[in-house]
Structure 1
Amino acid sequence: MASAFSWMSWTAPVAIFFACVALMLVGMTIWEVRSPTIERKGFLPMRTTRGDRLFIGLLSAAYINLAWVGLTDLDQWYAAVLGLLALLVIMRKG
């Protein structure tokens, strides 16, 4: 009988991606416990906390990667860098 996850391709980049997301969540939890966040208004059209901006940034990076795959034939690493830059801008200025 096949495993429930037999359809998933667990390659090194996939494992690194999920490890990075897990580390971000752990880091944000520690940061929140040590220094509780306050809502602030940046360029996003609403008041957000650090956790809100992380979630929006991760979604943005995912959509950038999906659009990259669907619209270009270029190497995926460019999209990863662009998604990371978007995440950093949203975390800092959002």
Structure 2
Amino acid sequence: MAWTLPTALFFVGIAVMLAAMTVWELVSPTAEAKGFLPMRTTRGDRLFIGLLGSAFLHLGWLAATDATLWGALAVSLLWTAFVIRFG
């Protein structure tokens, strides 16, 4: 893997999300909730599902188009936000 600025920003972004979720959990403990996902989930579960879905969206984007990944990033951010909020 080439350690470029985008690669570093990706890993920093994941670390910031995990740190923010940890602080959020300490301030306001979560309870399992049922949303549109077919199971009861916590905020951490929904973050993981959102990140996993984002990886698949990026792979699908790469397979389907020659466009830059900025579009996939925008779709992934919306997907993750949607899953965390309504999942």
User: Deviation digits for residues 20-78 of structure 1, max 9, x if unmatched?
Assistant: 10000011011111111000010000000000000000000111001111111111110
- Compute the TM-score of the two structures, normalised by the length of structure 2: 0.96
Moved over 2 A (4+): none
- Identity of matched residues, %: 55
- Alignment length, in residue pairs? 87
Alignment of 1:55-74 (within 5 A): 55-74=48-67
Q: What is the aligned partner in structure 2 of residue 29 from structure 1? A: 22
Q: Secondary structure at the match of 2:55?
A: helix
**Going by fraction, where is helix more abundant, 1 or 2?**
2
Higher relative contact order (CA 8 A, sep 6+): 2
Alignment of 1:38-53 (within 5 A): 38-53=31-46
Q: Identify unmatched segments of 5+ residues in structure 2.
A: none
Larger radius of gyration: 1
Q: Identify unmatched segments of 5+ residues in structure 1.
A: 1-7
Q: RMSD in angstroms over aligned alpha carbons?
A: 0.7
Structure 2 Cα separation of the partners of residues 32 and 55 of structure 1: 15
Q: Secondary structure at the match of 1:73?
A: coil
